[in-house]
Amino acid sequence: MDLIRLGEKIISRSRINQMVDKIIDLRASGLSQTEVAARLGVDRTLVCRLENLGEVRKGRRLAVVGFPILNKKELQDALEQEGVDFIFLMSEAERWDFISQKSGVELFDTIMDLIAKAHSFDQMLVIGSGHRIKILEAVLDKEVVGFEIGESPIQEDKYVEPGKIIELVRAIKD
């Protein structure tokens, strides 16, 4: 039976299932939790909780964040081959686009979403200036491994040796 009475409410199982399918499809297409919630008219925490309920992978999860990276594609490919769970790399131009193409509220929401996402990982590798690494260590309540590529503020893309990063990723995962 599709309709179920819960106290004074009557709910539809198929409607719930359709909404869950939409949420998963939109998230899998690359939309953030905030974007999915806004598009479907639900609370962002619902999207987050559904993801947590459905997560089946166990074990140490690793995120890698870095900017400004000259060889972003090369590094991303190497990290994907290593099975890194979340990769967020930007060049200097992409970093400026990231902040300039959003209103203050949108930028704040996006940064908060990224911080929330970072909390879902067991460990984080941060590639950047010592200053940025220290900021993320302060914000996150988990192990942060830093790979410094220059003094803050770094204003040009830096080449990052993929072999060194992969070696570090393997050490972190062990």
3-state secondary structure of 30: coil
Stretch 36-63: mean pLDDT: 83
pLDDT for 79 equals 97
As given in the structure block, the two tokens for residue 119 are: 């909390």
First to last CA, the chain: 49
Cα dihedral 40, 42, 43, 45 sign: negative
pLDDT confidence of residue 141:
75
pLDDT given for residue 102 in this prediction: 92
3-state SS of 105-159?
A: HHHHHHHHHHHHHHHCCCEEEEEEEHHHHHHHHHHCCCEEEEEEEECCCCCCCEC
Query: Which structure tokens are listed for 21?
Result: 């399918």
Q: What is the pLDDT of residue 59?
A: 54
With a cut of 70, say whether residue 64 has pLDDT above it.
yes
pLDDT at 161: 97
Q: pLDDT tens across 72-129, in order?
A: 999 999 999 999 999 999 999 999 999 999 999 999 999 999 988 888 888 899 999 9
Per-residue pLDDT of 121-172, as tens digits, reads 888 999 999 999 999 988 887 778 999 999 999 999 999 999 999 999 998 8
Phi/psi at 66 (5° precision): -160, 145
Architecture of domain 62-173: 3-Layer(aba) Sandwich (3.40)
Residue 57's pLDDT is: 47
Q: What's the predicted TM-score (pTM) here?
A: 0.66
Closest CA to 64 of 155, 150, 147, 6: 147
Report domain extents, the chain: 3-54, 62-173
Assigned CATH topology for domain 3-54: Arc Repressor Mutant, subunit A (1.10.10)
pLDDT at residue 56 in the model: 53
> Between 107 and 54, where is the model more confident?
107
